[in-house]
Chain A
Amino acid sequence: MADNAKLPPLPTGTFSARAVAWSKKNLFDGWFNTLLTLGSIAFLVWLIPPLVNWAIVNATLEPTIEGCAEVTGACWGFVNANLRLILFGTYPFEEQWRPLLAMIVLMGIICFSLGGVKYPSFRKAIIPMWVIGVPIIAILMWGGMLGLTYVQNSYWGGLPLTLILSAIGIIFAFPLGLLLALGRQSTMPAIKTISVVYIEVIRGVPLITVLFMASVMFPLFLPDGVTIDKLLRAQIGIILFTAAYLAEVFRGGLQAVPRGQFEAGDSLGLSYWQSMRLIILPQALRLVIPPTVNSFISMLKDTTLVVIIGLFDFLGTVKLALRSDPAWTKYYVEGYAFASAIFFLICFSMAKYSAYLEKELRKGEQR
């Protein structure tokens, strides 16, 4: 290319010479950029040292209120002292290995499913994994068999509850969302209308109203004598809510499949469900994997809303720990920072993975 002649010569020479060249180009290119760089450095100097001092240098892990009173920095002792309460809520203390194990199993299946998406040989195992895994988690959490004592689900809490609510939410919302998406694409006006109304109504209202509905109105919907407990009601609310969002994700995938594929299915004499199962869905679902992971991330963040209807998910248990002793209350920054860090770790890594998947799955289309 003739343009090459105009390109600046590649920086050569010693490391310091290259560093100078790099910073000239990336940091001090013109007066405006220099100003921005200096401003940013000033901001970092203002922010970082005090933050490090507070979070590490002057902090303590001593799990007592007295120990925390002595230091000027962060009182990680609050997290240390209340770790079991924050992680597992009010689950019976001696039995807390069960939610821990359930959480590990759940994380394992989630990671396997996410990884399996990339490696086709694992893909077939994903559904069996969930079919086996979910009952194992249920047995671990509820107990009442295999020598495990029964634990009412009003005692469930903490990180396992957050993960269960969002994972079960997305698993059950998946088929419902798929049906709704197919319904929305249908040529039958009645079925299309039902799907569109459902999707648009649910997407038009905040999750908290759906949760309020689940906690206040569900009991009215049921015949006399039948009751569903609070956790299950919240879970149903979450499933119904997520299904509408997933339906839109799936619709995107279905619309991306070329029309010729539908016609090919017809011309082979396949029935609607056959051509969906064998031709359309395998292509459509592959396209929607990254946005589905993104839905799972927002799901995970949104489950914190169950705090408002009185369940103790991971955010709820942090608040519970803060209230457990008036002396701890002032360490809210530490408590919220810990919760934020955990949420950030989970959500950020999944988001990065989803971005990576998107790139990977697109590779086949690049020529």
Chain B
Amino acid sequence: MSKTQNAPGGVRSKTVVDYLNDENVRAILYQIIAIGLVILAGWYLVSNTLVNLERQNISTGYGFLDLEASFEISESMVQYSAQSSYATALLVGLLNTVKVSLLGIILCTIIGTIFGIARLSSNWIVRKLATVYVETFRNIPVLLQLFFWYAVIPNAFPHPRDAFEPLPGVLLTSRGMYMPVPVADNAYTLMGIAAIIAIVAIFFIKKWAKKRQDETGQPFPMFLVGTGIFVGLVFLAYLIGGAPTDMDMPELKGFNIRGGYNISPEFLAVLIGLTVYTSTYVAEVVRSGIQAVPNGQWEAADSLGIKRSVALRKVILPQSMRVAIPPLTNQYLNLTKNSSLAVAVGYPDLVSVSNTTMNQTGQAIEAISIFMSIYLGLSLLTSLFMNWFNKKMALVER
């Protein structure tokens, strides 16, 4: 406002008060004050921390990462022993977090989609059952659910001695689930390579098919051909590799079961708890996504003579995806963040391993800073990817 008063010819020179009334000057002043306060607070906290650390004889820095961890981790996807370094231990924790989160995301999407569609079913009883499932499990704290599953699993299944065997080779016991795994063989490497080749081939065929359809309008049975190529190539690789059939079967030896692949009760508890809890949220996202597509879209597809199944795939789902993707991302992030609750049931995830590290070394700030930045990194990566995906899916208007 002062600008207009002083505009023509400068009737009087500006005083300090004029400057203080200038919006732009004020804005700069406010910002300087805000930054100053943040710096001051930061400096206060840092200086206190340094004094405290010195008093407690804790040296700062990340040097401890190379030291021997000297604690065991019950399950690990990479080579790990008590002689490994803290850095390796944290990597094991991170991989366990990623493992349970990825599996949880896949499962909760499947279950959530089923229940989301079931809530819109024309069948009264199915609709009500789905509603009860969603309302029940979303209103009970996820930690309580984890504790519940963690208490149930070891008690619901028998001792390894009289393990329950629903399928040959699959054992359910109080110590978790055991599954047979194929003994390592060159054929499996070959199959992996074949799978990659198949995916690349499918990608190019799809590109060609789309181009052809754009030009000539001829559709291409992409799904059938794609599945055929993938299964065929992988099976061919298996045969070329000598078709190995040796399996590592879980067996009772002494008091415990040896061999096979063990899924621990802790992992199962975390996975089931997170999946069930998050699936209720996914169900709601899916439901509102489908409901957001106007009925006119169905009718438009009908009037163009498009088959109902094709209309669902090509008309309805792409539009509901656009509505559903941002909240779905949020749920995936929530699941990943909630996987940190694994620490409460003893599943060695990132937070749990960091916690042990913190207790052993006293390097609280370093340990917390490590897992906080990892979670932050995961979140940022996901939101970057989702923003890109969102842009790709967004309506292109004039």
**Min CB distance, B389 to chain A, in Å?**
19
Inter-chain contact B340/A208, CB cutoff 8 Å: yes
**Min CB distance, A331 to chain B, in Å?**
10
**Min CB distance, A304 to chain B, in Å?**
4
- Among residues of B, the one whose C-beta sits closest to the C-beta of A25 is B122
Inter-chain contact A336/B49, CB cutoff 8 Å: no
Inter-chain contact B125/A40, CB cutoff 8 Å: yes
- Among residues of A, the one whose C-beta sits closest to the C-beta of B34 is A191
The verdict on A315 contacting B27 (CB below 8 Å), with A33-B123, A190-B34 known, is no
Residues of B within 8 A of A44 (CB): 129
Residues of B within 8 A of A336 (CB): 144, 147-148, 151
Of the listed stretches A77-85, A209-217, A280-288, chain B binds: A209-217
Most buried by A among B45, B51, B121, B143: B143
Inter-chain contact B368/A37, CB cutoff 8 Å: no
**Min CB distance, A1 to chain B, in Å?**
15
Inter-chain contact B371/A209, CB cutoff 8 Å: yes
Q: Looking at the complex, which one of A33, A187, A205, A222 makes contact with B372 (CB distance below 8 Å)?
A: A205
Inter-chain contact A343/B365, CB cutoff 8 Å: no
Q: Give Cα A29–Cα B123 distance, bound, in whole angstroms.
A: 8
Q: Looking at the complex, which one of B38, B140, B340 makes contact with A206 (CB distance below 8 Å)?
A: B340
Inter-chain contact B380/A347, CB cutoff 8 Å: no
Does A302 sit within 8 A of B, measured CB to CB?
A: yes
**A18-41 to B contact mask, C-beta < 8 Å, 1/0:** 000000001101000100110011
Q: Give Cα A188–Cα B148 distance, bound, in whole angstroms.
A: 49
**A321-347 to B contact mask, C-beta < 8 Å, 1/0:** 000000000101100100110011001
Residues of B within 8 A of A339 (CB): 144
**What does DSSP make chain A's interface, helix, strand, loop or mixed?**
helix
**A288-311 to B contact mask, C-beta < 8 Å, 1/0:** 000000000100011011011000
Inter-chain contact A348/B135, CB cutoff 8 Å: yes
**Min CB distance, B3 to chain A, in Å?**
15
Inter-chain contact B124/A27, CB cutoff 8 Å: yes
Residues of B within 8 A of A230 (CB): none
**Min CB distance, A354 to chain B, in Å?**
12
Q: Looking at the complex, which one of B31, B49, B343 makes contact with A308 (CB distance below 8 Å)?
A: B343
**Min CB distance, A258 to chain B, in Å?**
21
Residues of A within 8 A of B122 (CB): 26, 29, 33
**Min CB distance, B24 to chain A, in Å?**
10
Does A194 sit within 8 A of B, measured CB to CB?
A: yes
Inter-chain contact A344/B340, CB cutoff 8 Å: no
**A188-210 to B contact mask, C-beta < 8 Å, 1/0:** 11110010000001011111110
**What does DSSP make chain B's interface, helix, strand, loop or mixed?**
helix
**Min CB distance, A10 to chain B, in Å?**
18
Q: Looking at the complex, which one of A203, A209, A221, A304 makes contact with B340 (CB distance below 8 Å)?
A: A209
**Min CB distance, A78 to chain B, in Å?**
13
Residues of B within 8 A of A347 (CB): 139-140
Q: Give Cα A125–Cα B168 distance, bound, in whole angstroms.
A: 68
- Among residues of A, the one whose C-beta sits closest to the C-beta of B148 is A336
Residues of A within 8 A of B49 (CB): 217, 220-221
Inter-chain contact A307/B140, CB cutoff 8 Å: no
Q: Give Cα A344–Cα B49 distance, bound, in whole angstroms.
A: 42
**Min CB distance, A118 to chain B, in Å?**
22
**Min CB distance, B352 to chain A, in Å?**
10
Does A224 sit within 8 A of B, measured CB to CB?
A: yes
Does B288 sit within 8 A of A, measured CB to CB?
A: no
**Min CB distance, B379 to chain A, in Å?**
4
Inter-chain contact A305/B143, CB cutoff 8 Å: yes
**Min CB distance, A92 to chain B, in Å?**
27
Does B48 sit within 8 A of A, measured CB to CB?
A: yes
Does A364 sit within 8 A of B, measured CB to CB?
A: no
Q: Give Cα A209–Cα B125 distance, bound, in whole angstroms.
A: 42
- Among residues of B, the one whose C-beta sits closest to the C-beta of A345 is B139
Q: Give Cα A64–Cα B53 distance, bound, in whole angstroms.
A: 51
Q: Give Cα A41–Cα B123 distance, bound, in whole angstroms.
A: 12
Q: Give Cα A203–Cα B368 distance, bound, in whole angstroms.
A: 16
Residues of A within 8 A of B55 (CB): 224
Does A105 sit within 8 A of B, measured CB to CB?
A: no
Does B358 sit within 8 A of A, measured CB to CB?
A: yes
Does B344 sit within 8 A of A, measured CB to CB?
A: yes
Does A351 sit within 8 A of B, measured CB to CB?
A: yes
Q: In residues 155-176 of chain A, which contact B (Cβ within 8 Å)?
A: none
Residues of A within 8 A of B148 (CB): 332-333, 336, 340
Inter-chain contact B144/A304, CB cutoff 8 Å: yes
The verdict on A343 contacting B31 (CB below 8 Å), with A40-B129, A305-B341, A336-B147 known, is no
Inter-chain contact B368/A204, CB cutoff 8 Å: no
Inter-chain contact B143/A333, CB cutoff 8 Å: no
Q: In residues 16-60 of chain B, which contact A (Cβ within 8 Å)?
A: 27, 30-32, 34-35, 38, 45, 48-49, 51-53, 55
What would be 25 A-B contacts, judged by CB atoms less than 8 Å apart?
Answer: A27-B123, A36-B125, A36-B126, A37-B123, A37-B125, A40-B126, A191-B30, A191-B31, A194-B34, A205-B379, A221-B48, A222-B52, A224-B55, A304-B143, A305-B341, A308-B343, A308-B344, A330-B155, A333-B148, A333-B151, A336-B144, A344-B136, A348-B135, A348-B139, A351-B139
What 9 pairs between A and B have smallest CB-CB spacing? A190-B31, A204-B379, A206-B337, A347-B139, A26-B124, A301-B141, A206-B340, A204-B376, A304-B141
Q: Given A191-B31, A208-B340, A348-B135, 8 more contacts at CB 8 Å?
A: A33-B122, A36-B125, A41-B125, A205-B337, A304-B141, A319-B147, A336-B147, A344-B140
Residues of chain A touching chain B, judged by Cβ–Cβ distance below 8 Å, are 26-27, 29, 33, 36-37, 40-41, 43-44, 187-191, 194, 201, 203-209, 212-213, 216-217, 219-224, 297, 301-302, 304-305, 307-308, 315, 319, 330, 332-333, 336, 339-340, 343-344, 347-348, 351
